[in-house]
A and B are shown apart, each in its own frame.
Chain A
Amino acid sequence: MLLGLGGFGCGNATVELPVERAVLTPPPRVPAPIERDHPARVVVDLEVVEKTMRLADGVEYMFWTFGGTVPGSFIRVREGDRVEFNLHNHPDNKLPHNIDLHAVTGPGGGAAASFTAPGQSSRFEFTARHPGLFVYHCATQPVGLHVANGMYGLILVEPKAGLPEVDREYYVMQSEFYTRGAYGEEGDQPFSMDKAVREQPDYVVFNGAVGALMDERALTAKTGETVRLFVGNGGPNLASSFHVIGEIFDKVYIEAGDRVNHHVQTTTVPPGGATIVEFGVETPGTFLLVDHALFRAFHKGTLGMLKVEGPENPVVFQPGEVGPEERRAPRVPSESAPAPTPPPLEGALEESMRRGKKVYAASCLPCHQADGTGMARVFPPLAASDYLMEDLDRAVDIVIRGKRGEIVVNGETYNQVMTPQNLTDRQIADVMNYVTRSWGNAGEEVFGPGRVREVRESGKERGR
């Protein structure tokens, strides 16, 4: 320890401050707002852990993490606090690491003082002079690699007066991953430096993995509440066009500074930057968090959910008239009415369905949802779908070539664009086997790559 510090000349004006340990939370949780109205000496202990975790279904990646999560633990202090920062590098790690907190004014943002070999710890102190929401990240060379592997997080320095009270606060951080294999390619995927340099990621995600904020892991709120999102962008390369489908931000703290904008639809978050958005949720439903660079949202995983429960609010939003025979796709995927499970099957078909489920998760789930219910008025359901089941070749053709124009599914009209899916014949056969036997679809036909190829060929002949 002695050998690591440059000197003992630090001013001792802070010795009288009360000492408290920082509460760190894993994403998407945020520590509670700070109650005290005076500065304190806040002790932060953050450990770097290198670990393999899920990046997408069937896809594993070796992440380098702050606190065991990507993004790393959320740190919350108050303007004027004296922060004692202890960085620990787990002894089983392979690499040295450090930390650069954008909240720190000082050499490397703390990086110079926190360069730590595996099995060692380092300490530095700083006074949090500037309020705001700041990115922190590892700054060990090569920095691009350390960040690309997941070493970033957020530190909030509350202004002295605190932030206005809201009902819910959440932590969301966008970032990219560059893998040797393509999106969805299974197995342990190593980092691809070539793609990182060319700035062509395979994954662009919220909170470190595809689906990290989806379905059972969605953010939640109730109608009538105010929601605050602390949104960061770990990069390493891409800026985010942050938007919540179906919501307008009442307040945006531009670039997480103290200038506030109002009534904003989409706000830019640069890599290494952050923003704070606040909005009231007035209607129930599932609101998708996206990067409005749409191909990232739908093909690379930049999709999250905010599920809001509560009574309908027709003043704010009233859906159109529905006919007596129609099933309305529920906005909140229903937990009370599960689809009937198909009878257990053995052998090749079961194998195909198992693979198909993974293909579905990687390619179809963002729009059609994990339970096939799609999204009312937007994405047609596949669950108990008349349109799907009445012409299976047509369904295969749609997966291959995409679809545009009006269709009617279970009595509802949809008019969306579905992009062609870049899948092999076998993947399409697998996903068809899965979908046609799931969520109330009573499929009996068994798909193989041969059939898919026939549909593909005949589609070509028709010149489409």
Chain B
Amino acid sequence: MRLRVLVLLSGILPWIVRGEDACCAAPPAEAETGSAWSDTSLFHLESGFVNTEGETVRLADLAGAPTVMAMFYSNCPTVCPRLIAELRRLEGELKDGAAERLRVVLVTLDAERDTPERLRTYAEHMRIDLKTRRLWSGEAKDLRTLAALLGVRYRKEANGAISHSAPIVLLDGEGRIVARMKGAGVDTTAFVRTLQEQLDPEAL
């Protein structure tokens, strides 16, 4: 008899074991509706990234002021240096002190190699001022999520290089994308105009 019970129980065991797969967290009592961000804000992404100081940062930390964002990686031979040069050029086109209010966040596509330390070295090498420019890294999964939100497409090649598109994206203070341009070689007039508007002290 006991044997039979054991046999029966062992049959049920797989389902119990499988139950582990289903995530354990109980559902919250009420669906949260209180989020401050609009439906199209990237700040809804709660994943954490890591800055050059090793601190955890989130997109929502950027709230309150516009941010120019792009993705790159330190071992990139051609596209990324041009991207950085393009950002400098954009900055140069800003007037009325807007350049001082410009905040740029560059996020790596290369979770494995671009540690915070590596990014600090890169910033030094490329003469990027870390006071106004932030370089972020993170988990590969989260970097891919951010890339999808920004519209960056990329692929790791067999030789370790990463082929990627290089758009430059402008987020407003609420995390919404308000302008986009290709990384290099396009007419930037419209982008700069929107950027200037966003950085207008009245708007901030």
Direct A–B touching, Cβ under 8 Å:
yes
Q: Name the contact of B182 in the complex, choosing from A2, A3, A6 (C-beta under 8 A).
A: A6
Could you tell me how many residues of chain B have their Cβ less than 8 Å away from some Cβ of chain A?
12
Cα distance A8–B70 when bound, in Å?
A: 17
Bitwise, B156-196 to A at CB < 8 A (1) or not (0) is 00000000000000000000010111100011111100000
- In the assembled complex, which residues on chain B have CB atoms less than 8 Å from the CB atom of A345? none
Tell whether, in the assembled complex, residue B186 and residue A9 are in contact, meaning their CB atoms are under 8 Å apart.
Answer: yes
Asked if B48 CB lies within 8 Å of chain A CBs, one says no
- Closest chain-A Cβ to B200's Cβ sits at a distance in Å of 19
Tell whether, in the assembled complex, residue B177 and residue A7 are in contact, meaning their CB atoms are under 8 Å apart.
Answer: no
- In the assembled complex, which residues on chain B have CB atoms less than 8 Å from the CB atom of A8? 179-181, 190-191
Bitwise, A1-36 to B at CB < 8 A (1) or not (0) is 011011111000000000000000000000000000
- In the assembled complex, which residues on chain A have CB atoms less than 8 Å from the CB atom of B181? 7-9
Query: Interface majority SS on B: helix, strand, loop or mixed?
Result: mixed
Tell whether, in the assembled complex, residue A7 and residue B186 are in contact, meaning their CB atoms are under 8 Å apart.
Answer: yes
- Segment 163-213 of A: residues with Cβ below 8 Å from B: none
Cα distance A359–B100 when bound, in Å?
A: 82
Tell whether, in the assembled complex, residue A6 and residue B186 are in contact, meaning their CB atoms are under 8 Å apart.
Answer: yes
- In the assembled complex, which residues on chain B have CB atoms less than 8 Å from the CB atom of A7? 180-182, 186-187, 190-191
Asked if B151 CB lies within 8 Å of chain A CBs, one says yes
Interface residues on chain A, size class: under 10
Cα distance A452–B122 when bound, in Å?
A: 88
Tell whether, in the assembled complex, residue A9 and residue B190 are in contact, meaning their CB atoms are under 8 Å apart.
Answer: yes
- In the assembled complex, which residues on chain A have CB atoms less than 8 Å from the CB atom of B187? 7, 9
- In the assembled complex, which residues on chain B have CB atoms less than 8 Å from the CB atom of A9? 181, 186-190
Cα distance A7–B183 when bound, in Å?
A: 10
Bitwise, A347-369 to B at CB < 8 A (1) or not (0) is 00000000000000000000000
Quick one: closest B residue to A5, CB to CB?
B180
Most buried by A among B177, B180, B188: B180
Cα distance A6–B182 when bound, in Å?
A: 6
Cα distance A2–B177 when bound, in Å?
A: 8
- Closest chain-A Cβ to B188's Cβ sits at a distance in Å of 7
Cα distance A2–B181 when bound, in Å?
A: 10
Cα distance A3–B148 when bound, in Å?
A: 10
- Segment 81-124 of B: residues with Cβ below 8 Å from A: none
- In the assembled complex, which residues on chain B have CB atoms less than 8 Å from the CB atom of A3? 151, 177, 180
- In the assembled complex, which residues on chain B have CB atoms less than 8 Å from the CB atom of A5? 180
Cα distance A9–B191 when bound, in Å?
A: 8
- In the assembled complex, which residues on chain A have CB atoms less than 8 Å from the CB atom of B182? 6-7
Cα distance A8–B189 when bound, in Å?
A: 8
Cα distance A7–B192 when bound, in Å?
A: 12
Quick one: closest A residue to B189, CB to CB?
A9
- Closest chain-A Cβ to B168's Cβ sits at a distance in Å of 10
Cα distance A99–B191 when bound, in Å?
A: 29
Cα distance A370–B92 when bound, in Å?
A: 77
Cα distance A8–B181 when bound, in Å?
A: 7
Tell whether, in the assembled complex, residue B180 and residue A2 are in contact, meaning their CB atoms are under 8 Å apart.
Answer: yes
Cα distance A5–B190 when bound, in Å?
A: 13
Cα distance A429–B182 when bound, in Å?
A: 70
Cα distance A9–B182 when bound, in Å?
A: 10
- In the assembled complex, which residues on chain B have CB atoms less than 8 Å from the CB atom of A6? 182, 186
- In the assembled complex, which residues on chain A have CB atoms less than 8 Å from the CB atom of B188? 9
Cα distance A9–B186 when bound, in Å?
A: 7
- In the assembled complex, which residues on chain B have CB atoms less than 8 Å from the CB atom of A2? 151, 177, 180
Quick one: closest B residue to A12, CB to CB?
B190
Quick one: closest B residue to A6, CB to CB?
B182
- Segment 400-438 of A: residues with Cβ below 8 Å from B: none
Cα distance A174–B182 when bound, in Å?
A: 42
- Closest chain-A Cβ to B38's Cβ sits at a distance in Å of 14
Cα distance A7–B190 when bound, in Å?
A: 9
Cα distance A6–B180 when bound, in Å?
A: 8
Cα distance A129–B181 when bound, in Å?
A: 27
- In the assembled complex, which residues on chain A have CB atoms less than 8 Å from the CB atom of B186? 6-7, 9
A residues adjacent to B (C-beta < 8 A) = 2-3, 5-9
Give me the 3 closest cross-chain CB pairs, A-B, nearest first: A9-B187, A8-B190, A3-B151
Q: List 7 A-B contacts (CB under 8 A).
A: A7-B180, A7-B186, A8-B179, A9-B181, A9-B186, A9-B187, A9-B188
Additional A-B contact list (5), CB under 8 Å, known A3-B177, A9-B181, A9-B189 = A2-B151, A6-B182, A7-B180, A9-B186, A9-B187
